[in-house]
């Protein structure tokens, strides 16, 4: 039986994350390669088992407050994280969540996503949340899950998730910016 509690495991992961080398992370990102194609797949609804699922990106309260500066209310920017909640949306969700996700429009796309025909962009690119700024990459720590599904590539502790921009050349400066 393990003596470690969930908080001890979280603390260990946080300490491990603090010790990660930005240079090593940038090396890993550079070896995988990435260039955004502005396809919008990371910002829009997707189909799972024939059913449309809304875009879901975790957002921290301070990020919501930053994005909220131009919005009328908190709920214009964020919604309760749908995972872990039960019930149909029309009937009212049941359960509790302490996480927030970016708000979506009627199509299930992020409310900040702006489609311009063949390409799209974030209407709040300079203020976008960390998860958006670092996609399609995540860090593998002992206690982490697969926030974007199973990785399609990895290098060291860096995981790369499904994205048509993977495998493309990336400037060192851009890799370092993603690694920060």
What ranges make up the beta strands (E) of the chain?
A: 46-48, 51-53, 58-59, 78-80, 100-102, 113-116, 119-122, 137-139, 153-155, 158-160
pLDDT band at 145 (very low <50, low <70, confident <90, very high): low
Mean pLDDT (whole number) for 90-101: 66
The helix (run of H) or strand (run of E) holding residue 77 is helix 74-77
pLDDT band at 103 (very low <50, low <70, confident <90, very high): very high
pLDDT value at residue 2: 46
pLDDT band at 90 (very low <50, low <70, confident <90, very high): very low
Of 92 and 101, more confident: 101
Q: What is the pTM of this model?
A: 0.80
With contact defined as beta carbons under 8 Å apart, do 175 and 50 qualify? no
- Least confident range of 61-65, 85-89, 105-109, 127-131: 85-89
């Amino acid at each position: 039986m393990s003596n470690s509690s969930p908080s001890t495991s979280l603390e260990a992961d946080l300490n491990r994350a603090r010790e990660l080398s930005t240079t090593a992370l940038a090396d890993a990102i550079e070896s995988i390669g990435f260039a955004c194609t502005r396809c919008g797949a990371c910002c829009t609804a997707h189909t799972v088992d024939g059913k449309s699922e809304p875009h879901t990106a975790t957002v921290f309260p301070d990020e919501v407050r930053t994005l909220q500066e131009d919005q009328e209310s908190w709920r214009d920017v964020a919604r309760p994280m749908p995972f872990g909640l039960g019930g149909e949306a029309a009937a009212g969700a049941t359960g509790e969540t302490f996480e927030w996700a970016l708000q979506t429009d009627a199509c299930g796309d992020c409310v900040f996503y702006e489609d311009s025909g063949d390409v799209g962009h974030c209407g709040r690119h300079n203020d976008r949340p960390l998860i958006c700024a670092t996609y399609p990459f995540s860090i593998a720590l002992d206690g982490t899950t697969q926030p974007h599904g199973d990785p399609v590539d990895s290098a060291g502790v860096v995981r790369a998730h499904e994205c048509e921009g993977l495998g493309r050349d990336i400037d060192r400066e851009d890799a370092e910016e993603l690694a920060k």
